[in-house]
């Protein structure tokens, strides 16, 4: 038992779901890498015929990839913000019912509020950086389309 009375799970029922999530993320990442590499090879071949069309295709790929990547990180930031707000209201960090990778030490009282505020700031920063990254990718894609150099 931990100090907060939460049992520390160490068996396969504890680690197996976490390992499956990690394995699935690695497999999806590797598959996406192959798809993107094949698509980039197609764009490279297209550039021999039409540089303008190849730039448009590359810009489209950047926009889709950037939207997915920075959209996911923005959603993660929003989840951190929501969790921090719950923790601040409950005076408990992490808040009740939150999923984690392992046994977490539960903090209560004023220290929990401090941790919740810090977590809130980090979540807001993640959302802001995601928005900036997404905007930068869209700007770069637009500049790629506007460029008329051959």
Q: What is the pLDDT of residues 30-76, one digit of tens each?
A: 999 999 999 999 999 999 999 989 999 999 999 999 999 999 999 99
Give the pLDDT score at 90.
93
Q: Is residue 2 part of a domain?
A: no
| Whole-number Å distance between alpha carbons of 82 and 97 | 13
Mean pLDDT of 113-124: 96
Q: Which two tokens stand for residue 39?
A: 């698509």
Q: Is residue 7 part of a domain?
A: no
Mean pLDDT of 15-32: 92
Q: Which domain holds residue 142?
A: 12-146
Q: Is residue 6 part of a domain?
A: no
Which residues are CB-neighbours of 5 under 8 A, at least 6 positions away? none
Give the pLDDT score at 6.
55
Q: How many domains would you assign to the chain?
A: 1
Is 124's pLDDT higher than 90? yes
Q: Is residue 35 part of a domain?
A: yes
Residue showing tokens 């992490």: 94
Is 103's pLDDT higher than 70? no
């Amino acid at each position: 038992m931990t100090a907060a009375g939460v049992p520390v799970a160490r068996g396969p029922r504890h680690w197996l779901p976490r390992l499956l999530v990690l394995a699935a993320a690695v497999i999806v990442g590797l598959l996406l890498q192959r798809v993107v590499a094949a698509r980039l090879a197609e764009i490279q071949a297209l550039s021999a015929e039409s540089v303008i069309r190849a730039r448009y295709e590359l810009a489209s790929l950047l926009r889709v990839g950037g939207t997915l990547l920075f959209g996911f990180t923005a959603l993660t930031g929003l989840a951190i913000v929501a969790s921090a707000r719950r923790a601040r209201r409950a005076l408990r960090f992490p808040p009740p019912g939150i999923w984690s990778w392992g046994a977490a030490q539960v903090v209560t009282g004023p220290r929990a509020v401090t941790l919740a505020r810090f977590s809130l700031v980090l979540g807001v920063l993640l959302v802001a950086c995601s928005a900036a990254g997404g905007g930068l990718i869209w700007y770069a894609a637009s500049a790629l389309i506007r460029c008329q150099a051959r």
